[in-house]
Structures are given as structure tokens and as C-alpha cells.
Chains A and B, each alone.
Chain A
Amino acid sequence: QVQLVESGGGVVQPGRSLRLSCAASGFTFNTYGMHWVRQAPGKGLEWVTFISYDGRKKYFADSVKGRFNISRDNSKSTLYLQMDSLRDEDTAIYFCARDPNSQPYYFDYGGRGTRVTVSS
């Protein structure tokens, strides 16, 4: 069965960096695009970024453009989110999600998420 397990969350000061990982299993990782989506405490869903199956195409929300980067290692079936210059408003649960399409469309499976808290 499809499994997505995020890790790397924690408490970090504003301006610092954090790298999240998402370990995928149960499907052929290198044939799927992947998203990161976040949800601030008590708030709605916010799409963050998408990477194509081969890593060549990336898309970002305006709120994270220039600060976050998405990457993947298909040999390890792992997705990453490098988050730099973190702000208070980046505090959220971040989850990775699989897209069954070749472009950023929607997601059919998601992980349980990892919590990121940006606070001094």
C-alpha cells in the first residue's frame, strides 16, 4: 500500500533553516509528481510546492518562492523540502502528497505530516 512518511520537523528560530524529508513506499516513486502541502494550526490547507517525477519541473507558492526548495532522490524514493529564512507564518504541519498526473494537479495520497514551529 502507498505510504508516505515525513520527518525533520521541529522548533526553529525565525531566519533559520530546516530540511524536511518524505520517505515513499508502496508505489513506483520515480513515475509520480509530488507535492508539499501545509496546514497552520486551526487553519485550512495551503499548497506549498510541486516537483515533477524526474525533478526537472518545480512550482512554488508565492509565499515561499525564493526561500523554499523542493528536490527528490529517486534512488532513495525520498522527497525533500529545504526551508530557508523561516518566518513565524511558516509554522504548520507539512505533509507530502502524491500526484497521479504529470503536472501539478491534485493529490491522491498524503502522509500524516511533520510539525514545524518557527518561534524565537
Chain B
Amino acid sequence: QMTQSPSSLSASVGDRVTITCRASQDIRKYLAWYQQKPGKVPKLLIVAASTLESGVTSRFSGSGSGTDYILTISSLQPEDVATYYCQQYKSAPLSFGGGTKVEIK
């Protein structure tokens, strides 16, 4: 099971934003992060907890190990408004966190 927090947040442009994902057991960095904008397919941002996918802005970064992981947006921009999901792939069945909706204050 994957637990994300907060479920939603509102921040100002330029703010540093952090989203937390906690696994029910050690997933050994087998963690991906996705961004989903309304009506769109989820976009893969980060794999292996901290490896940025090609073409993804360096505003995004991931960290963590064991059961606790963090997605950081270093300077929130209007185009970052979306819902963010973590997903473990340590073992099947795969599982997603409940999502974090990010809005601009």
C-alpha cells in the first residue's frame, strides 16, 4: 500500500513544494512519480525514486529510500498545476498512491 500526503495543496508561484509517499514496506527505491493534468494521460516524471525521465524539467526531483519518498518541485510554476501520483514497482500487484492535487494560490 502507498500513502501520499498531502491529498491537496495550494502554493504560490515560485514556492518550493514537497509531496510525500510512504510505502507499507521497504520498496528499495522501486518508485515512480507521475504528473496528470486534467483530462490527460499521466506523464512519467521520475523512476527509481530519483532518476528524472528524459525531457522532464529539472524543477522536479525525487528522493528517499526504504519506505519514505519525496517529490520536490523546486519553484512552482503555473504549468505544474496537476495531480501527482507515486507508484511502487517492487512487486506485482503494482500500486499507486492516492494522489496529491497541486494548485496555485
- Which stretch, B59-67, B68-76, B84-92, touches the partner chain A? B84-92
Q: How large is the interface on A (under 10, 10 to 19, 20 to 34, 35 or more residues)?
A: 20 to 34
Assess the A108–B92 pair: CB atoms within 8 A.
Answer: no
* A46-B96, A50-B92, A50-B94 known; A105+B30 contact, CB < 8 A: yes
Assess the B44–A47 pair: CB atoms within 8 A.
Answer: no
Which A residues, 21 to 37, have Cβ-Cβ distances below 8 Å to chain B? 35
Q: Which residues of B contact A47 (CB under 8 A)?
A: 87, 93-96
CB-CB nearest in chain A for B54: A108
Contact with B along A71-110 (1 / 0, CB 8 A): 0000000000000000000000001010000001111111
B-to-A contact residues, CB < 8 Å = 30, 32, 34, 36, 41-42, 44, 47, 53, 83, 85, 87, 89, 92-99
Q: Which residues of A contact B97 (CB under 8 A)?
A: 44
Assess the B89–A45 pair: CB atoms within 8 A.
Answer: no
Complex CA gap A113/B96 in Å reads: 18
Most chain B CB atoms below 10 A, which of A46, A60, A105, A111: A105
Assess the B85–A45 pair: CB atoms within 8 A.
Answer: yes
Assess the A108–B93 pair: CB atoms within 8 A.
Answer: no
Q: Which residues of A contact B89 (CB under 8 A)?
A: 104-106
Q: Say which residue of A46, A50, A107 sits within 8 Å of B44 (CB atoms).
A: A107
Complex CA gap A109/B30 in Å reads: 18
Complex CA gap A66/B18 in Å reads: 39
Q: Which residues of B contact A106 (CB under 8 A)?
A: 32, 44, 47, 87, 89
Complex CA gap A113/B99 in Å reads: 19
